[in-house]
Amino acid sequence: MLKLIDIEKSYRISGKKKIILHKLNLEINAGEIIAITGKSGCGKTTLLNIIAGLTSPSKGRVIFEGKRMFYPFDIMPAFIRNRRVGFIFQTFRLLYNETVASNVLLPARIKGIVNRATVLRMEELLARLEIPEYRKSIAGVLSGGQKQRVAIARALINDPSLILADEPTANLDMQTSVEIFKVLEQFARDENKAVLIVTHKDYMLKHADRVYSMKDGVLEDLR
């Protein structure tokens, strides 16, 4: 479903070239849960940015569902982010002044389709995530775990094939972290979605299908 071939990413910092990702290769298939761990600043978030098309690689190719990613005018990356990729963040990145429903429906609105089917999908997701009663609540007043559930619902509303989760449970307690991971795992298995998760939590590393460690811009296969 997703292939990263010889990906390199470098930045110029104070005139010096700094390589963040070095000849990185990765293939992700549908239904898989892949975990990546590594120290801060090793390039994990840059990798997620490249997969989502938020930044372009300095070298190499990104093949998404058989199509090579091209970046001019942000048209293809925006399309892929909207329809094929769902994001989950450590800091949730919700619109805290808006309702849960408004947050969850935002990707559908950007897609240009908000109809009965979309609303039913939202209701189904909220029910599966066990927060149906918060549909009309303001997102800002929810607990951390509830906010992350809303973020998961938002990530899934357009039925993406890949979920990118950047330390989704770093701000949550152990029990909630396990619950959130179980939800993600369940969606990956039930709906045949690939999940790429950046995490340091042992529980998640233990339950992922494949685990990589990132060091100095290189992925090392741990399992």
- The 65-84 site mask, x for binding other proteins (CB under 8 A), equals --x-----xxxx-xxxxxx-
Shortest Å, Cβ 87 to other proteins: 5
CA 164/CA 85 separation, integer angstroms: 7
Size of the site for other proteins (CB under 8 A): 38
Contact 9, 57 (CB under 8 A): yes
Nearest to 183 by CA among 127, 138, 137: 127
By CB under 8 A, the residues from 167 to 196 that bind other proteins are 167
End-to-end CA separation in angstroms for the chain = 20
User: For residue 160, how many other CB atoms are within 10 A of its CB?
Assistant: 21
**Token pair 């990798």: residue:** 47
CA 137/CA 157 separation, integer angstroms: 18
Q: Which is nearer to other proteins, 14 or 175 (CB)?
A: 14
Pick the binder of other proteins from 18, 39, 61, 109 (CB under 8 A): 109
Pick the binder of other proteins from 23, 111, 207, 210 (CB under 8 A): 111
Q: Tell me the window of 16-24, 90-98, 119-127, 208-216 that interacts with other proteins (CB under 8 A).
A: 90-98
By CB under 8 A, is residue 159 in contact with other proteins? no
Contact 159, 136 (CB under 8 A): no
- Give the binding site for other proteins (CB under 8 A): 45-46, 48-49, 52, 54-55, 67, 73-76, 78-83, 87, 89-91, 93-95, 106-107, 109-115, 154, 158, 166-167
